[in-house]
Amino acid sequence: MIRIVIFCLFIWFSMPLMAQESEVKEESKPHKIALTFGLTHIPEAFEHGHLEKEVYVPTLGLDYFYQLNEKWNLGVALDLELGVYVVDINSDHVSRENAFLAVALAGYEILPRWGIFAGPGIEFEKNINLFIFRTGTEYAFDLGNDWGLFPAFAYDFKEKYSTWALSLGISKHL
Q: In the prediction, which pLDDT does 132 show?
A: 97
**Percent of the chain clearing pLDDT 70 (strictly above):** 82
Residue 103 has pLDDT above 60, yes or no: yes
- Please state, in angstroms and rounded to a whole number, the distance separating the CA atoms of residues 107 and 67: 9
Q: How confident is the model over 107-146, as pLDDT tens digits?
A: 999 999 999 999 999 999 998 999 999 999 999 999 999 9
Contact (CB, 8 A) for 137 and 115: yes
pLDDT (tens digit per residue) in 42-62: 998 888 766 667 899 999 999
- Over the Cα atoms of the chain, what is R_g? 17
Task: Name the residue with higher pLDDT: 7 or 40.
Answer: 40
Domains of the chain, by residue range, sit at 2-20+29-173
Q: Is 31 helix (H, G, I), strand (E, B) or coil?
A: strand
Q: What's the pTM?
A: 0.82
**Is 22's pLDDT higher than 60?**
no
2-20+29-173: CATH topology is Porin (2.40.160)
